[in-house]
A and B are shown apart, each in its own frame.
Chain A
């Protein structure tokens, strides 16, 4: 990681170059260290599937996986993601095939306006990675940091249950 003064003016405040792996692909970006991971994903890497809702860690719309852990990308200064492995909604499908979770969200009506959906899918993905056979209570708690103003949540919980059942029987 190298700092330069040409972009930021004062020494140490300039942009730095850092590497991360996003959806399996190595990337190098030239950014200010305090830029939000959310903005780097959307603006530098063009991965606009990750949404900004509240911008203060309350709504979960910007959820991504960082080294396998669910985080709100609006609260991660990008320097802290240097060297990390990230998964965004763009990395969830298995090639051209929707993942079991994505298919279940469609079938159950778990997505309406769509703003919360990428975060919901990442939250559900994190949950199923940790607990492949979650109870309804586990699902409610696993997604308690993801707000949805359309569905009333029931269809979302059903989608996660369905995806878990399919994964178990696959």
Chain B
């Protein structure tokens, strides 16, 4: 049943300090709401447990993308539209630009934020595998100050994360060190826009010349929609590093990918389909990497 707006409180303090103070005074009592593309869906369905909400939409301290020679710092309140239209993101972090383009339609991209996508913690979120392979770091802010943590182990279980009740994500930092990598992204869904992924892959790789031909110098692979959290395939990465890309290796990678997943049957797909497709996509990434030497 639809929620009654009279039962809900929503305030908009208008600056980060005031929001942080509110969360410090009453930790866990206030739900931050940015563009509302997830929160308002629950609200409309009468399934939003929180009754007190604090708006962080348009907070100046959460906006903007700062560029330095070593990294870019994306304000947690940046929208998908801002991400996909940003030249440096499109050029150096194309997996994130693709994910932004695949998320929802234009109206949702104008309101959905990267910080919101992380905190909503959907295993099907398209941006999260990209953040895994780019080894993003998160800047978290609370009344106790700021801390910087790797995104890699931020999500610990379905909708669980290492975020204290008084903390907000302030920014997402990406190191500018992947320009000579092959960037591979694929989303498999019912359609590109407005459909959550059945499987989504983000991967980065680089070759180097070995004694008997090219071998994998460095590689990072992550999957969405195949486990309770976005999944980085660290074991697969370890096995393939330093090896030439031969059919046996591709076959082994396919098997290891499937073994690392915990896919489920749900409204969008089946565990069996997800396993087969994820294995195929990781194999396709390696094939592209093998032939990338000529073009990269």
Q: Is A69 an interface residue (CB 8 A)?
A: yes
Q: How far is the CA of A7 from the CA of B169 in the complex (A)?
A: 35
**Are B10 and A145 in contact, with the CB atoms below 8 A?**
no
The answer to whether A33 and B194 have CB atoms under 8 Å apart is no
Contacts of A109 in B (CB 8 A): none
Tell whether, in the assembled complex, residue A79 and residue B194 are in contact, meaning their CB atoms are under 8 Å apart.
no
Residues on the A chain within 8 Å of B175, using CB: none
- The contact string, 1 if C-beta is below 8 Å from chain B, for chain A 16-35, is 00000000000000011111
A56 to B11, CA, bound (A): 22
How many A residues are at the interface, by size bracket?
Answer: 35 or more
A109 CB to closest chain B CB (Å) equals 23
| Complex CA–CA separation, A60 to B194 (angstroms) | 10
Q: A34-B53, A144-B105, A145-B108 are in contact. Are A80 and B41 (CB under 8 A)?
A: no
- Which residues of A in the span 1-57 have a Cβ within 8 Å of any Cβ on B? 7-10, 12-13, 31-36, 55-57
Contact A70 B193 (CB under 8 A): no
| With A12-B11, A82-B12: A77-B111 Cβ-Cβ less than 8 Å | no
Decide if the interface of chain A is mainly helix, strand, loop or mixed. Answer: loop
Which A residue sits closest to B51, measured CB to CB? A13
Is A87 part of the contact surface with B, judged by Cβ < 8 Å? Answer: no
Chain A 56-93, CB-CB to B under 8 Å as 1, else 0, gives: 11101001000001111011110110100000000000
Q: Which of A85-136 contact B (CB under 8 A)?
A: 123, 126-127
The answer to whether B55 and A79 have CB atoms under 8 Å apart is yes
CB pair B6–A144 under 8 Å, yes or no, is no
Given A58-B194, A74-B44, A75-B36, also A146-B105 (CB < 8 A): yes
Chain B residues near A75 (CB-CB < 8 A): 35-37, 40-41, 108, 111
